[in-house]
Amino acid sequence: MPSINPLTKIIGLSAVLAAGFLMIFLAGAIYGNWLPILVGFLFGISHLPIIISNNWQQYTDIDFMNDTTKTASELGRFVSAFLTTTSSVIPFVFYHCHILTKVATILTFMGGLLIYSTVVIFTSFFNVDDGDELNFEI
Protein backbone atom coordinates (compact mmCIF):
# COMPACT_ATOMS: atom_id res chain seq x y z
CA MET A 1 0.00 0.00 0.00
CA PRO A 2 1.60 3.29 -1.04
CA SER A 3 2.02 5.99 1.56
CA ILE A 4 0.35 9.36 1.09
CA ASN A 5 2.58 12.38 0.70
CA PRO A 6 2.44 14.65 3.80
CA LEU A 7 1.83 17.66 1.57
CA THR A 8 -1.27 15.95 0.18
CA LYS A 9 -2.53 15.38 3.73
CA ILE A 10 -2.00 19.04 4.62
CA ILE A 11 -3.78 20.22 1.47
CA GLY A 12 -6.71 17.89 2.16
CA LEU A 13 -7.02 19.05 5.77
CA SER A 14 -6.83 22.67 4.61
CA ALA A 15 -9.73 22.04 2.25
CA VAL A 16 -11.79 20.53 5.09
CA LEU A 17 -10.94 23.50 7.33
CA ALA A 18 -11.97 25.92 4.58
CA ALA A 19 -15.24 24.03 4.13
CA GLY A 20 -15.94 24.33 7.86
CA PHE A 21 -15.32 28.07 7.86
CA LEU A 22 -17.42 28.42 4.69
CA MET A 23 -20.35 26.69 6.37
CA ILE A 24 -20.12 28.99 9.39
CA PHE A 25 -19.81 32.14 7.27
CA LEU A 26 -22.75 31.04 5.11
CA ALA A 27 -24.85 30.46 8.22
CA GLY A 28 -24.12 34.03 9.23
CA ALA A 29 -24.32 35.71 5.84
CA ILE A 30 -27.45 34.09 4.43
CA TYR A 31 -29.58 34.74 7.47
CA GLY A 32 -28.06 38.09 8.45
CA ASN A 33 -26.96 37.00 11.92
CA TRP A 34 -23.23 36.92 12.63
CA LEU A 35 -23.33 35.04 15.94
CA PRO A 36 -22.25 31.73 14.30
CA ILE A 37 -18.77 33.24 13.94
CA LEU A 38 -18.53 33.12 17.74
CA VAL A 39 -19.13 29.38 17.53
CA GLY A 40 -16.44 28.99 14.88
CA PHE A 41 -13.99 30.92 17.04
CA LEU A 42 -14.77 28.73 20.07
CA PHE A 43 -14.38 25.54 18.04
CA GLY A 44 -11.08 26.84 16.68
CA ILE A 45 -9.54 27.56 20.08
CA SER A 46 -11.06 24.67 22.03
CA HIS A 47 -8.06 22.39 21.44
CA LEU A 48 -5.58 25.07 22.53
CA PRO A 49 -5.63 24.22 26.30
CA ILE A 50 -4.55 20.65 25.53
CA ILE A 51 -1.64 21.89 23.42
CA ILE A 52 -0.54 24.33 26.13
CA SER A 53 -0.81 21.78 28.94
CA ASN A 54 1.09 19.14 26.95
CA ASN A 55 3.92 21.64 26.35
CA TRP A 56 3.86 22.53 30.04
CA GLN A 57 4.13 18.85 30.92
CA GLN A 58 6.93 18.31 28.43
CA TYR A 59 9.20 21.05 29.78
CA THR A 60 8.79 20.46 33.51
CA ASP A 61 11.12 18.31 35.59
CA ILE A 62 10.36 14.62 35.76
CA ASP A 63 9.67 13.73 39.37
CA PHE A 64 7.75 10.69 40.49
CA MET A 65 6.63 12.39 43.69
CA ASN A 66 5.43 15.56 41.94
CA ASP A 67 1.90 15.52 40.58
CA THR A 68 1.80 19.05 39.13
CA THR A 69 2.35 17.98 35.53
CA LYS A 70 -0.52 15.53 35.68
CA THR A 71 -2.71 18.20 37.24
CA ALA A 72 -1.83 20.67 34.49
CA SER A 73 -2.62 18.10 31.81
CA GLU A 74 -5.95 17.26 33.40
CA LEU A 75 -6.82 20.94 33.73
CA GLY A 76 -6.05 21.44 30.03
CA ARG A 77 -8.30 18.54 29.10
CA PHE A 78 -11.08 19.85 31.34
CA VAL A 79 -10.95 23.36 29.86
CA SER A 80 -10.82 21.91 26.35
CA ALA A 81 -13.84 19.69 27.05
CA PHE A 82 -15.69 22.69 28.50
CA LEU A 83 -14.98 24.81 25.41
CA THR A 84 -15.90 21.99 23.03
CA THR A 85 -19.17 21.29 24.84
CA THR A 86 -20.01 24.99 25.01
CA SER A 87 -19.34 25.56 21.34
CA SER A 88 -21.37 22.47 20.43
CA VAL A 89 -24.41 23.59 22.43
CA ILE A 90 -24.45 27.31 21.56
CA PRO A 91 -26.04 26.85 18.09
CA PHE A 92 -28.91 24.88 19.61
CA VAL A 93 -29.39 27.48 22.35
CA PHE A 94 -29.52 30.17 19.65
CA TYR A 95 -32.08 28.10 17.75
CA HIS A 96 -34.17 27.65 20.90
CA CYS A 97 -34.12 31.42 21.49
CA HIS A 98 -35.13 32.03 17.82
CA ILE A 99 -31.85 33.79 17.06
CA LEU A 100 -30.84 31.25 14.40
CA THR A 101 -32.96 29.32 11.94
CA LYS A 102 -32.87 25.55 11.67
CA VAL A 103 -30.65 25.57 8.58
CA ALA A 104 -28.24 28.08 10.13
CA THR A 105 -28.04 25.93 13.25
CA ILE A 106 -27.18 22.84 11.24
CA LEU A 107 -24.63 24.73 9.13
CA THR A 108 -23.02 26.21 12.23
CA PHE A 109 -22.83 22.91 14.11
CA MET A 110 -21.48 20.92 11.16
CA GLY A 111 -18.99 23.65 10.25
CA GLY A 112 -17.78 23.78 13.83
CA LEU A 113 -17.31 20.02 13.92
CA LEU A 114 -15.28 20.23 10.71
CA ILE A 115 -13.11 22.97 12.21
CA TYR A 116 -12.53 21.11 15.47
CA SER A 117 -11.76 17.79 13.80
CA THR A 118 -9.31 19.49 11.43
CA VAL A 119 -7.47 21.18 14.31
CA VAL A 120 -7.24 17.88 16.22
CA ILE A 121 -5.99 16.00 13.16
CA PHE A 122 -3.43 18.73 12.38
CA THR A 123 -2.03 18.58 15.91
CA SER A 124 -1.88 14.78 15.91
CA PHE A 125 -0.24 14.84 12.48
CA PHE A 126 2.59 17.10 13.69
CA ASN A 127 2.90 15.48 17.13
CA VAL A 128 5.94 13.25 16.71
CA ASP A 129 7.16 11.25 19.68
CA ASP A 130 10.92 11.72 19.93
CA GLY A 131 11.39 8.87 22.35
CA ASP A 132 12.23 8.86 26.01
CA GLU A 133 13.43 12.14 27.50
CA LEU A 134 16.10 10.38 29.55
CA ASN A 135 17.40 8.48 26.49
CA PHE A 136 16.71 5.04 27.93
CA GLU A 137 15.69 3.64 24.57
CA ILE A 138 16.08 -0.08 24.08
Output helix, strand, coil percentages for the chain, rounded to the nearest 5: 75, 0, 25
Domain that holds residue 16: 9-126
pTM score over 0.85: no
Domain count for the chain, please give it. 1
> Which pLDDT score is estimated for 18?
96
Q: Is 81 part of a structural domain of the chain?
A: yes
The model's pLDDT over 14-32, given as tens digits with 9 standing for 90+, comes to: 999 999 999 999 999 998 8
In a domain, 115, yes or no: yes
pLDDT confidence tier of residue 98, bands split at 50, 70 and 90 = very high
CA–CA gap between residue 18 and residue 56 (Å, rounded): 30
Q: pLDDT tens digits for 68-79? A: 557 888 899 999
Position 2 in a domain? no
Q: Is residue 132 included in any domain, yes or no?
A: no
Q: Any idea which of 45-54, 78-87, 124-133 has the lowest mean pLDDT?
A: 124-133
Contact, 87 vs 42, CB < 8 A? yes
Residue 119 placed within a domain: yes
Distance of CA 89 to the CA centre of its chain: 15
The type of residue at 126 is F
| Mean pLDDT within 99-109 | 95
* Predicted pLDDT at 90: 96
Backbone conformation region of residue 131, classed left if phi is above 0, alpha if psi is from -120 to 50, else beta: left
**Quick check: is 64 in a domain?**
yes
Residue at 48 is within a domain: yes
Contacts of 132 (CB under 8 A, 6+ apart): none
3: left (phi over 0), alpha (psi -120 to 50) or beta: beta
44 found inside a domain = yes
